[in-house]
Amino acid sequence: MYFAGIDQHTHKRCGLTAATAQPGPLQDWYQGRLARGMREEFARVTLTRKLAAITLRLWKKGERYDPTQLTQQAR
């Protein structure tokens, strides 16, 4: 899935950054996947897909990012 000229490599880097760089709900979501036994690479790919889905939803609906919805969906 590509948005506004963003390629797959960029999406993967975003997923890696969200998973490891800064504490927050996306990192918590990623760590939760690892705690459940998901392989690290698969958890990053899953997070990257989640970021793409969030980006598309925000773009299409004009919504603002709400990290509390991310937490609810991850359970």
Domain boundaries, the chain: 8-74
Q: Is the dihedral of CA 18, 21, 27, 33 positive or negative?
A: positive
Q: What is the pLDDT of residue 74?
A: 43
Q: Can you tell me the distance from the alpha carbon of 71 to that of 9, in angstroms, rounded to the nearest whole number?
A: 26
Q: Tens place of pLDDT for every residue, the chain, 75 residues?
A: 444 555 666 656 666 666 677 788 888 888 999 999 999 889 888 888 888 888 888 889 888 888 777 754 544
